[in-house]
Structure 1
Amino acid sequence: MNAFSHPSADPNFEEAGGMPGGHRASGGLADQFDLRRLFNIFRRRVRLFAAVAALVFLAAIFITFTATPMYTATANVMLDTRQERVVSAEAVLSGLSADSSVVDTEVEILKSRRLAERVVNALQLSQDPEFNAELAPPSVLSNIKDSVLGVFGAAKPRDIPDDPIAQQKAQERIVDAVLSRLSVRRAGLTYVINVNFESASATKAATIANKFAELYLLEQLEAKFDATQQANTWLNSRLEGLRQQVLTDEAAVQNYRIANNLLSAAGTNLTETEISNYNMTLSQARAQVAEDEARLSTARSQLARGSSGDDLGEALSSPVIQKLREQRATVSAKVADLQGRYGERHPEMLTANRQLTDIDAQIQAEIQRIISNLEAKVQVSRQRAGAISGSLSNARGTLVGNNQAQVRLNELERTAEASRTLYESYLNRYKETSSQQGIEQSDARVVSSATIPTGQSSPKVPLNLALGLVLAMGCGLGAVVLAEMLDSGLATAEDVEHRLEVSYLGAVPLLASVAEGKASSPIDYVIEKPLSSFAEAFRNLRASVIYSRLGEGVKVVAITSSLPGEGKTTTSVCLARSAAQQGLKVILVDCDLRRRSVNRLFGAEPARGLIEVLAGEATLDEVLTVDQTTGARLLPLAKSSMTPKDVFGSAAMDRLLEELRRTYDLVILDTAPVLPVADTRVLAPKADVVVFLAHWRKTPQHAIEAAFRLLSGTGAHLAGVALTQVDMKQQAKYGYGDPGYYYAEYKKYYVS
């Protein structure tokens, strides 16, 4: 391949499932919740866990046993839904209902600052050092603080200043201290409220809890008393205005009556009474006229029929006619007697006839007088009926005017009635509220007063220790998790493949972790112990590098890293010696112009080296040195090899690599780190593969990714990442499935 690519871009890598050996990584929850992996994480962080947990638990023990014992007293208050009804009048301030929200509201009232301030003032808690920090004895920390501030002239007096704002703040701090000790809770779904107060003094706790309950009930009574008093004051002032309004409205009604002649007696309008009387009198007058006309008409009818008038009804009832008829009867009897005795011509007979004629004449005259009287009565009756009818018409005209004026009068009367009704309702309510003063009842009562507690409520030693232990373990686990999250280094093959998405080439052990006893240097140990696990690690690394490009030969290998000190030179030398021991023709080329670490490892300072060969100042054979132990060739750098020229990008470098590729089986290029030096980016594409080294658990992942980004555009082929300086004893505590996890099982297989 000509492009720098991750193994995920290799088809063979994809077919193998992204894991060495062709095994596909299992996904899902099993990977996320692998208990053995979690156990390994805990095992390697057990010291951190123990240290943090012990520190937190000791802190919990110290706080528990040095805390001031506190006592809690409880007073029980119940909202009483049953109220005594002394009077039937409705109360100004109604009683509390039994709704759940009402009970919760009363709980908040018990916890209010206003009630707490009343308790503070009633018990003079501002003079108590427990609640007033200004009166408390100074602590060690406060003394140190005052001393430090005193040196700089900034020490503050502990006395409460006279400034009103400062006094208010001090009072608020006292109230806050009291409220912090107060706990008010509703007992389940009942109407009972538990008032708990905590104090360093058992007696004080009971006193303050009872005072909260007492002042709560008193506040309810005061609220009702104030509401009743305010209602009475307002009703009294309102009544005076309503009374004046009633008088004004009623005076307007009477004045309007007088002005419009709408006078009445016994609630009845006088004009209407007059019309009623006129109607009755007119009816009677008309009846009288009809009666008189009937009598006159009857009399005239009888006279017209030839009656002498004797049979007239009025004549029959007239005493004069009755007397004259009696006289006529007497005279008539005398005439009859004289006629029989003396005859018609007798003087007495004549006298008697004259008397009889005279009596008849008087009777006819009386009848005529009666007829004339009937006519006069008819005339009088008619005139009287006419007069009454005229008066009735006048009264009706007056009534029409009165009815028109009555519309306004009705409006005035309604206004006056409304004012009178409102005034009476306010007057009745005022009498009711006045009768309620002094009989107000609280909506709650104390079920049980707080008693002096016999045992401390805090600190609860067993509970605190149990919680401290739980907290200690939680903090220990949190520290482990945090350490794992902050650990950006690579520790296992899984870290390399999952986090970097590149192949894992192997691990180079830390010699001290695999060698028994005092070991020599790593480059010598590879020769001295060829069957050791340390030497086997380089054989595994070489095998991984050779097969990193399937189907293509690998001869030129560039070894690099992101940062200095990651074991590039040691790995390069050990890899070269290991390959030479296996019979390969190997050459190690020192390409780190600034460090020349190969020279330091072998303790030699050649006069000529790689730069001189590239410059044509020396031949390859003249500068090559031979490792006498293994026969491997070394192409070093001379001490004076520093040059600003781009020697690795030159055609001479290309020719040199082609010559080395033809001559040797394995060409190892020990290059500089990628991040600080640009030489490796020039040299990497010229190698068949690039082996990237990372210091076990030290090299940050971000540094490796940054180096990858720098190499990505060069066309170099990355074989993978190898971890160096791996502590195999600690590695066994890391990821389950990593080769190092089984080191304890197979380490006896090697010869130390």
Structure 2
Amino acid sequence: MEERTFGARELYSLFRRRLLLIVAIVIAGTALALIAAVELPKTYTARSMIVVETDDPNPLDTTQAQPNQQPDKSRMDTEADLIASRVFASLVVDRLDLIQDPDFNTYLPPAVAGGTSDSSGGVLSQAVGLIVWIPQKLFSLVAGSGPQDATSLPPKDVQQDRAISAYLANLSVDRSGESAAMTISFFNDDAATAAKIANATARLFVEWSRDNKRQDIKDAVGFLRQQSTELASRIAAIEGQIAKYATEHGVSSDPRDDLLRASIQQANEQLSTARGEYTQAQARLAQVRLAAKNGDTGAGVDPLLTSDFLTSLRNDEATAMRDRAQLAGNYGRNHPLVQEADAKVAAVRAMISQEMLRTIAVLENDVRVDEGRVNQLVKSLEASNEELRQRSLAEAKLRELNNNLATEQKLYDLVSGKLGSLDPFSEAVEPGVRTVSTAEIPTSPSFPKLRLMLAGGLAASLVLALILVLTLESMEVRIRDLRRASKLIRAPLLASIPRLPQKFLRPALPPLETLLSRPRSAFSDAFRSLYNACTRMNGGRSKHVVLVSSGLPQEGKTTTAMGLAMAAGMDGALTALIDLDLRTRSLHTAMELGSASRTLGDYLQGDCALAEIVQTLPDIPQLDVLAPSADDQTLPEFLNSGQLTKLLEAFRLEYDVVIIDAPPVLVVEDAIRIAASVDTIVVVAAFDSTTQEALSQVVERLRFAGGPSIGWVFNRVDPFQQARGALRRAYMRRQQIRRYFFADSP
């Protein structure tokens, strides 16, 4: 099935068809909105206004606040949240004693009618109250509980929570843009109560803000006093620690008075000198030992080895060696004089060796002395460094104590200054918010508003009507679009027959009278088009039998058969119109015929000729009609016999065109049996009546039965709705059609 789409033309056509339904829904919805606006309980809204002042600095904050600064959004939001908080709501409930009000404490029995209750409630509100009261009463009877008295009420805190919740449900806090003003709105069914609670809320919030700020300042003063006392105690303790520590460690808070670093510097210099002398002594000792070992006494040796005593001994050794050499040359080596010379040389050498050992001993002693001096200086320097390290630690600790002392003193001065600025004004504080507008007793309810509810009811009912119309249209399967139907059944559209013209508040003329009195009307012209289409489907043959049927009754098949036959007769063809729908026999009444001389049953029995059972229409001599009346005893069963074929053959021989008004296809099988004896089948579908499924079933059944060529007719069509395109073109087509057929208008 082709998907349905909605364009401007389809929507316009849809609204025209469903106009009555849309109007009815809109009227009903608007009426209900009117009744609700009149009968619903009235709600009054009272509004008071407060202004939030410049942000108040923290009592402990030392920074200077900016003068005339606008409150920021976060503070405004905070104030609004505080007004709507349950803590502040409990204050309002307690001050106004709302826990004793049944409107807020629903645990209490309702107020007695005729006292303070509003007796002007409408019928609707009374009905709603009755509906609510009946289940409560039944439940109390089943549960065996009566009205609650003071002993059966829940605890006080539970009742207070219920009153707080009811109060907050009717409270609203609003802010306009970046304004520092906030509007407090309260809703109640009593105007005086609404104004009273709105004003009380603003007043109590100002008092609550002042009390909270006063308490904050008192807490800050108490905190500062406590801190001042503690700081004074800590300062005294730190000063005592500084004095005691300086005495115990012998340090001064001034590093310039310390002479230890100067002594350490001098010790380092002495150590460097001693280490140089020690190294020099070690070098001389090594040089002397090497010279003593090698006997080197030349230049560059240590001055100790070139002393006068050693020089004399070495000269003596040289002299003794020369003397020995002479004696050995003169007397030989074993001569006593030579031996005496050897002894002298040995004695001199012994003395030289002894002097060398003494010199080495002197140098070794110098090395030991220098080494001891170096070690002594190293130990002394290490002791001084350790002392310096200990003094540095002591000085660091002392500086830390001094820093702590300075910090505590600065904090003490700050606390003392802040305490001095707060303490004198702890009782005189500004709340930070102030009331700028009090609520007046409202004179008109905020709900329901008559105009608003009427507009809302009208809009809602219109939307509901549109949704309902579109839903019904999406579920609609009746045929309205001839192109979609032609594609669905795959059969040509032979003609679109318009609905009978009708004047406003005047009934339409019968089809027969319209065809005879207005031959140039669109209704009559449609049947001429149908006749021409059937002739073309027959291929131009001289004899033509056409069966006209529909899926269901009341779809216009009899009118179509009558109009087709009259169009054929007016065209000059010898035409016969046969009514084979023997169960209804509506053609006889539609054509306003009298009784024929003989009946169809007489002809079937062979008692008369064909010309005796037909009647000629006076206005159309070429048209004969076989329309059995109620007196004709012919039964529909004869359509199942061979007599039907003989009857149709007789008519085919006598007439050029034979039109058969057959029973509905989906009701009985008569039309299926007749279809085998005709040349063309015309299926009638009524606009906005025949469904797509029914039309498809009719065509399929006729095709399955082996019927001839099939076409269909769209009956009762509004010609103005066939205009395509925009609404202007539809209007122009309507005017063109009216002007064309103006001559035939009565």
Shorter-chain TM-score: which interval? 0.5 to 0.7
Relative distance call for 1:106 and 1:537 in structure 2 (3 A) is: same
Query: C-alpha distance in 2, partners of 1:504/1:167?
Result: 87
Query: Residues of 2 paired with 1:657 and 1:410: CA distance?
Result: 141
Residue 185 of structure 1 corresponds to which residue in structure 2?
A: 174
> Which amino acid in the other structure matches residue 399 of structure 1?
S
* Corresponding residue of 1:381: none
State how far apart, in whole Å, the 2-side matches of 1:573 and 1:484 are. Answer: 37
Shift of 1:204: 2.8
Q: Any stretches of 5+ residues in structure 2 without a counterpart? A: 114-125, 270-371, 618-622
Does residue 58 of structure 2 align to residue 76 of structure 1?
no
Query: d(CA) in 2 for partners of 1:242 and 1:706?
Result: 105
- Give the counterpart of 1:209 among 190, 198, 202: 198
1:453 corresponds to which of 433, 441, 453: 441
Matched-pair contact (CA < 8 Å) for 1:490–1:698: no
Alignment of 1:640 onto 2:628: no
Q: What's 2:129 paired with?
A: 142
Contact 1:278–1:391 (8 Å) recurs in 2: no
Residue 397 of structure 1 aligns with which residue? 382
Deviations 1:374-431 (A, max 9, x none): xxxxxxxxxxxxx999998765322323456678778878987898888889878887
Q: CA deviation at 1:698?
A: 3.6
Give the superposition deviation at 1:206: 3.1
Instruction: Provide, for residues 595-640 of structure 1, a one-character-per-residue CA deviation record: whole Å limited to 9, x for no partner.
Output: 887799899996699xx9xxxx999999995345441357998433
Would the aligned equivalents of 1:69 and 1:200 in 2 still touch at CA under 8 Å?
A: yes
**Counterpart in 2 of 1:32?**
8
Tell me which residue corresponds to 1:290. none
* Cα separation, partners in 2 of 1:576 and 1:281, compared to 1, 3 Å: closer
> Residues 74 and 451 of structure 1 are in contact (CA less than 8 Å); yes or no, is this contact kept in structure 2?
yes
Deviation for aligned residue 1:445: 1.5
Does the residue aligned with 1:631 lie in a helix, a strand or coil?
strand
Going from structure 1 to structure 2, the CA distance change for 1:599 and 1:223 (only over 3 Å counts) comes to farther
- Residue 80 of structure 1 deviates from its aligned partner by 1.3
- Report the secondary structure of 2:516's partner residue: coil
Residue identity opposite 1:448 in structure 2:
V
Contact in 2 for aligned 1:490/1:699 (Cα 8 Å): no
- Give 1:694's aligned residue: 685
For residue 191 of structure 1, report the CA deviation from its aligned partner: 1.5
Pick 1 or 2: higher relative contact order, CA cutoff 8 A, min separation 6. 1
Deviations 1:123-178 (A, max 9, x none): 23343344456625684433355446756866897759999999999867755654
Q: Which residue of 2 aligns with 1:264?
A: 250
How big is the shift at 1:78? 1.7
Q: Which runs of 5+ in 1 are unaligned?
A: 7-27, 284-386
Structure 1 Cα separation of the partners of residues 559 and 29 of structure 2: 44
3-state SS of the aligned residue for 2:637? coil
> 1:553 matched to which residue of 2?
539
Q: Equivalents in 1 of 2:745, 2:263: separation in Å? A: 152
Letter in 1 for 2:129: S
Please say if 1:541 is aligned against 2:509: no
Cα 1:149/1:228, change in 2 over 3 Å:
closer
Which shows bigger deviation, 506-515 or 241-250?
241-250
Equivalent residue, structure 1, for 2:313: none
Q: CA deviation at 1:666?
A: 3.5
Q: Which moved more, 1:599-608 or 1:684-693?
A: 599-608
Note the 1:223-622 alignment, pairs <5 A: 263-267=249-253, 273=259, 396-402=381-387, 438=426, 444-453=432-441, 455-456=443-444, 458=446, 464-465=450-451, 468=454, 471-472=457-458, 475=461, 479=465, 482-483=468-469, 486=472, 495-497=481-483, 503=493, 505-507=495-497, 509=499, 525=513, 530-532=516-518, 537=523, 540-544=526-530, 546-547=532-533, 553=539, 555=544, 557-576=546-565, 579-580=568-569, 582-587=571-576
Indicate how the Cα distance of structure 1 residues 66 and 281 shifts in structure 2: closer, same or farther if over 3 A, else same.
closer
Taking a change above 3 Å as real, the CA distance of residues 253 and 100 of structure 1, as seen in their structure-2 partners, is: closer
Q: Structure 2 vs 1, CA of residues 147 and 443 (structure 1 numbering), >3 Å: closer, same or farther?
A: closer
SS at match of 1:98: coil
Q: Distance in 2 between matches of 1:561 and 1:167?
A: 81
CA contact (8 A) 1:278 1:388 kept: no
Indicate the residue corresponding to 2:353 in structure 1. none
CA distance in 2, matches of 1:692, 1:60: 49
1:722 corresponding residue in structure 2: 714
SS in 1 for 2:62: coil
Aligned equivalents of 1:172 and 1:710: distance in 2? 76
The CA deviation at 1:197 is: 2.8
Kindly tell me: are residues 717 and 71 of structure 1, through their superposed partners in 2, closer, same or farther at Cα, counting changes over 3 Å? Answer: same
Contact 1:49 1:477 in 2 (8 A): no
CA distance in 2, matches of 1:440, 1:704: 94
Task: Tell me, yes or no, if the aligned pair for 1:693 and 1:721 is still in contact at 8 Å.
Answer: yes
Deviation track 1:230-252 (CA, whole Å, cap 9, x = no partner) reads 99999999999999999999999
Cα offset, 1:208, TM superposition: 1.7
Shift of 1:185: 2.7
Q: RMSD value over aligned CA atoms?
A: 7.0
For the residue of structure 2 that corresponds to 1:265, the secondary structure is coil
Closer, same or farther in 2 for the Cα pair 1:670/1:282, shift >3 Å? closer
Q: 1:647-671 CA deviation, whole Å, 9 max, x = no partner?
A: 9xx9x99999999778754444545
Aligned-partner Cα distance in 2 for 1:429–1:271: 34
Structure 2 Cα separation of the partners of residues 240 and 441 of structure 1 = 26
Report the AA paired with residue 631 of structure 1.
D
CA drift of 1:544 comes to 3.2
In 1, Cα distance between equivalents of 2:608 and 2:150: 93
Equivalent residues in 2 for 1:97-176, closer than 5 Å: 98-100=71-73, 102-104=75-77, 106-112=79-85, 115-131=88-104, 135=110, 139-147=126-134, 159=148, 175=164
Q: Residues 576 and 424 from structure 1, CA distance in 2 versus in 1: closer, same or farther, beyond 3 angstroms?
A: farther
Structure 2 length as normaliser, TM-score?
0.55
3-state SS of 2:444 partner:
coil
- Distance in 2 between the 1:186 and 1:556 partners? 86
Confirm or deny: 8 A CA contact 2:43 2:448 kept in the other structure. Answer: no
Q: Indicate the SS of the match to 2:530.
A: helix
> Partners of 1:711 and 1:182 in 2: how far apart?
75
Greater shift, 509-518 or 103-112, is seen at: 509-518
Amino acid of the residue matched to residue 195 of structure 2? A
Does structure 1 retain, via aligned residues, the 8 Å contact 2:497–2:715?
yes
Amino acid at match of 1:32: A
Please tell me whether the aligned partners of residues 251 and 395 of structure 2 are also in contact (alpha carbons under 8 angstroms).
no
Would the alpha carbon gap of residues 276 and 477 (structure 1) be closer, same or farther in structure 2, given more than 3 Å must change?
Answer: closer
Contact 2:665–2:671 at 8 Å: present in 1 too?
yes
Cα deviation, residue 450, structure 1: 0.9
Is the Cα contact below 8 Å between 2:527 and 2:567 reproduced in 1? no
Q: Distance in 1 between the 2:432 and 2:240 partners? A: 51
